Structure 1
Amino acid sequence: MHETKTLKEKLKLFMVIVIPVLITQLGMSLMNFFDTVMSGQAGADDLAGVAIGANLWLPVFTGINGVILAITPIIAQLTGSMQQDEVPIKVQQGIYLSCALALFVITAGALALNPVLYAMDLTSEVRHIARYYLVTLSLGIIPLFLFNTLRCFIDALGRTRTSMFIILMALPLNVFFNYIFIFGGLGIPAFGGIGSGIATAATYWVVCLISLVIIHRLQPFRGYGVLSNWVKPSLIAWWEQLKIGIPIGLAIFFETSIFAAVTLLMSVYSTYTIAAHQAAMNFASLLYMMPLSVGMALTIAVGYEVGAKRYREARTYGYIGISGGLLFAIFAGIVLYAFNEPVAALYNSTPEVVELTKQFIIYAIFYQLADAIGAPIQGALRGYKDVNMTLMIALGSYWGIGLPTGWILANYTALEPFGYWVGIITGLSVGALALLWRLLHIQRRYQG
């Protein structure tokens, strides 16, 4: 990051930051995309099992990862205020905390997995696949959280292309691992959908090791000495990150968990319906990486300018990001509308699944429009370290409005499973409007 004077300079710098972030996020989402698509080719039970497992894991991962994301505004504001000497200490404490969080998630998952799966109305085959997909995936949780901490450090310095190259190197390996472990090869038996969990864990180890080598050997990262002169773990330092990270994590958890809750509620419908819902959600989530990337770039840019006390420039970056999110939303809507049938056929060849997926995709067009506004605004607010109100907005709009509306429509109208999607659209729209109000309020406070 560096200071900019004109709008043209800001646009250019923002694009330099956001494009690699977008490619990185797309690459990470493509891993889940290939997990789902390739599992679907192994059978409808495999697709449904991976869908259940992924939707149990996603809110946990995104929620905990929100705690890790607090490193980004912390480092961005430190570099903006020219306090680089503090950066390695913050990153090292973030590494300690990420490992502790990973161990907590693994332990909690071991205790809760079977009770949760048996509480759901699933066939024994789908339950078996979901269970062992998550068990094998858990082998990669520690390197995943460690990589995300290192990535936050890399991105906060504005070096988002480095993260992009790491993921682009790992993506082909993920496809290769999926092929080998799902369908069998090189002396390895076919594990079906469970194999995608093994492949994903292996990929997480690869990206973690690559990022460690880069941090240790390449400039400007090497100059910070993050992997040398280690300090002891500090609960005070952990709490500083947790004060910012917990509200971020909970806000993300409340958003992502509503999608997981909807998938679990849909377990009362047929395997075809579950598979179609997951296929449509998976592709829409891939497109959602665009506004999400804008939000992550805004955290870096806004945080840097706030750290330097250039509040007018921070506000300008916010407007640039929101406008970019809207443009991305229009593009995503066109893609979803124009290619709904080819997209549906990617996931499964069963005619019933394809037809249901096409219908779900139409609803996805509308909910991603609201998400495309909300995600950039959340990123800008994180740049200001304003996270507590975002948490309250997420809880109220998603769980107070979105899920109850969906449940009523699904159970008391002819919409049935599609009613849940209408509820999601409603909750996300209310949330986006409330977040916009909060951003305008914070901007006035810093200007005043």
Structure 2
Amino acid sequence: MRKTNTTHGKIRQLFIILFPLLITQLSLYAMSFFDIMMSGRYSTADVAGVSIGSSLWMPIYSGLGGILLAIPPIISQLIGAKDIKKVPFNIIQAIYLALAIGVAITIIGFILLNPILSMMNLEPAVEQVAHSFLVGLGYGILPLFVFNVLRSFMDGLGQTRISMLITLSALPINITFNYFLIYGKFGFPELGGVGSGYATAITYWLIFIIALIVVVKVEPFASYRVFKRFYRLSLKSWKTLLVIGLPIGFSIFFETSIFAAVTLFMSSYDTITIASHQIAMNFASFLYMAPLSISMGLTIVVAFEVGAKRYSDAREYSKIGISIAVILSLICSLVIFFLREQVASIYTDDQVVIKLTTHFLIYAIFFQISDAFQAPIQGILRGYKDVNFTFFMSLVSYWVIGLPFGYTLANFTDLGPFGYWIGLISGLAIGAIGLLGRLLYLQKVKYPSTQKSV
């Protein structure tokens, strides 16, 4: 990264960082997309089971993995302040923390998985697929979390193209092993949707190994000599990571777990409704990768400018990023509206599921518009290391407003399952308004653009 003096230069630098992040996020989420889509080609029970398994896994992974999103702003601010000697120590401490998180998830999952699935009162075939899918995926948890640290290190240096290339390699690996293990090709066992869980675990291991080799062997990462020295575990460093990371993680957890909660409530409906809801939600979440990538890119560039105390540049990046997100959201909304039947048919051949999915996809349009504001603003606030308000707004907008409102509409009106979507949309919109107010206050009071830069 470098200092830019013009709006054109800022747009160019943001896109240089943003585009690889977008490809990376689309590739990561495409793994879930192909898990569900390829399972849907196997059977309706398999797509429902894999969808539920993914819905339970994603908030846990996103929330606890979100703690590690403290790394890019820490690294970017160190680089902006030209304090690069502290970088290797911070990366190693983050790896220790990632391993601790992975072990904790594995232990807790072993204890709670069966009770949670039993509580959902699923059809036996769907419950069995969901359980075995998560068991298979669990073998890849530890390498996944360490990979996230290494990827955050790359992104924090502004080298998002490298992490993009590594993650792109994961997609064909995942699709290939899905094909082998779901359908039992080339001598592999035919596991149905369960096979996608094991395929995902294999993929996590392979991209971790690739990332590790890159950090050790490839410049500019090798010059930091991250693994050349042994560092003792530092609780003080963990505290620094957790002070920033925990609010980020909880914020993401509140946002993603709300969808798992809705899936839990949706389990009272039939398998057709569950499958249709999950397909529409999966595609909406796939499109969310665009504003999420913009959010991550803004964290990097804003943190870099804040580290150098160039607050006016940080504000200009904020305006550029939000504008790009809004434009993209309008394009995505048009895609959903005019091609919703074609989108549904990607996932399944079942005409009943396709018809119901097209109705759910209409509501997904409103997700795109709200996400265009709230996701980039979250990234900007993280660049300032201002994370507590985002945590608070996620709790209030989703769990205090969105879910209760959605439950009321679903159970006490004729809207049925669509009521949950309206509740989520309402919570998302309120969250976006609250975050915008926080950003305007922060940039006006705490980081005024009139302050001199260095």
The alignment's TM-score, normalised by the length of structure 1, stands at: 0.99
C-alpha distance in structure 1 between counterparts of 2:234 and 2:112, whole Å: 29
Unaligned residue ranges in structure 1 (runs of 5+): none
Corresponding letter in the other structure for 1:371: D
RMSD (Å) for aligned C-alpha atoms: 0.7
Superposed CA offset, 1:168-226 (max 9, x none):
11211111010001001221111001001001001101110000010000000000011
The answer for the alignment partner of 2:92 in structure 1 is: 92
C-alpha distance in structure 2 between counterparts of 1:382 and 1:121, whole Å: 39
Kindly indicate whether the alpha-carbon contact (under 8 Å) linking 2:23 and 2:164 is maintained by their aligned counterparts in 1: yes
C-alpha distance in structure 1 between counterparts of 2:22 and 2:346, whole Å: 23
Corresponding letter in the other structure for 2:284: A
Corresponding letter in the other structure for 1:314: A
C-alpha distance in structure 2 between counterparts of 1:96 and 1:299, whole Å: 23
C-alpha distance in structure 2 between counterparts of 1:170 and 1:294, whole Å: 22
C-alpha distance in structure 2 between counterparts of 1:433 and 1:310, whole Å: 26
SS at match of 2:227: coil
Superposed CA offset, 1:128-159 (max 9, x none):
11011001101000011011110110001110
SS at match of 1:232: coil
SS at match of 2:432: helix
The answer for the alignment partner of 1:262 in structure 2 is: 262
Corresponding letter in the other structure for 2:241: Q
Superposed CA offset, 1:359-394 (max 9, x none):
000000112210121000000000000001110011
C-alpha distance in structure 1 between counterparts of 2:230 and 2:372, whole Å: 40
C-alpha distance in structure 2 between counterparts of 1:402 and 1:341, whole Å: 27
Q: How does 1:85-164 map to 2 (within 5 A)?
A: 85-164=85-164
The answer for the alignment partner of 1:293 in structure 2 is: 293
Corresponding letter in the other structure for 1:172: P
The answer for the alignment partner of 2:423 in structure 1 is: 423
The answer for the alignment partner of 2:325 in structure 1 is: 325
Q: How does 1:350-429 map to 2 (within 5 A)?
A: 350-429=350-429
Corresponding letter in the other structure for 1:165: L
Shift of 1:24: 0.6
Kindly indicate whether the alpha-carbon contact (under 8 Å) linking 2:79 and 2:157 is maintained by their aligned counterparts in 1: yes
The answer for the alignment partner of 2:208 in structure 1 is: 208
The answer for the alignment partner of 2:180 in structure 1 is: 180
The answer for the alignment partner of 2:447 in structure 1 is: 446
Corresponding letter in the other structure for 1:400: V
The answer for the alignment partner of 1:218 in structure 2 is: 218
The answer for the alignment partner of 2:27 in structure 1 is: 27
Shift of 1:121: 1.4
Length, aligned pairs only? 448
The answer for the alignment partner of 1:227 in structure 2 is: 227
C-alpha distance in structure 2 between counterparts of 1:21 and 1:120, whole Å: 35
Superposed CA offset, 1:387-417 (max 9, x none):
0111001100011110011000000111100
The answer for the alignment partner of 1:271 in structure 2 is: 271
The answer for the alignment partner of 2:335 in structure 1 is: 335
The answer for the alignment partner of 2:437 in structure 1 is: 437
The structure 1 segments of at least 4 consecutive aligned residues displaced by more than 6 Å after TM superposition are none
SS at match of 1:192: coil
The answer for the alignment partner of 1:281 in structure 2 is: 281
Shift of 1:235: 1.1
Corresponding letter in the other structure for 2:91: V
Corresponding letter in the other structure for 2:447: Y
SS at match of 1:385: coil
Superposed CA offset, 1:63-111 (max 9, x none):
0111011011100100000000000100010011001100000001111
The answer for the alignment partner of 1:314 in structure 2 is: 314
Shift of 1:233: 1.1
The alignment's TM-score, normalised by the length of structure 2, stands at: 0.98
Superposed CA offset, 1:305-337 (max 9, x none):
000111110111111111111011101101111
SS at match of 2:288: helix
Shift of 1:230: 2.1
Shift of 1:16: 0.4
C-alpha distance in structure 2 between counterparts of 1:250 and 1:402, whole Å: 17
SS at match of 2:243: helix
Superposed CA offset, 1:246-274 (max 9, x none):
00000000001111111110000010000
Indicate whether 1:63 and 2:56 are aligned: no
C-alpha distance in structure 2 between counterparts of 1:157 and 1:172, whole Å: 27
Unaligned residue ranges in structure 2 (runs of 5+): none
C-alpha distance in structure 2 between counterparts of 1:121 and 1:373, whole Å: 37
The answer for the alignment partner of 1:245 in structure 2 is: 245
Shift of 1:30: 0.7
SS at match of 2:188: coil
C-alpha distance in structure 1 between counterparts of 2:282 and 2:68, whole Å: 24
Corresponding letter in the other structure for 1:383: G
Superposed CA offset, 1:341-368 (max 9, x none):
1110111111110001000000001122
Same amino acid, percent of matched pairs: 51
Q: How does 1:33-44 map to 2 (within 5 A)?
A: 33-44=33-44
C-alpha distance in structure 2 between counterparts of 1:195 and 1:273, whole Å: 24
Superposed CA offset, 1:268-320 (max 9, x none):
00100000001011111111100000000000000000001111101111111
Superposed CA offset, 1:428-447 (max 9, x none):
00000000001111111211
SS at match of 1:70: helix
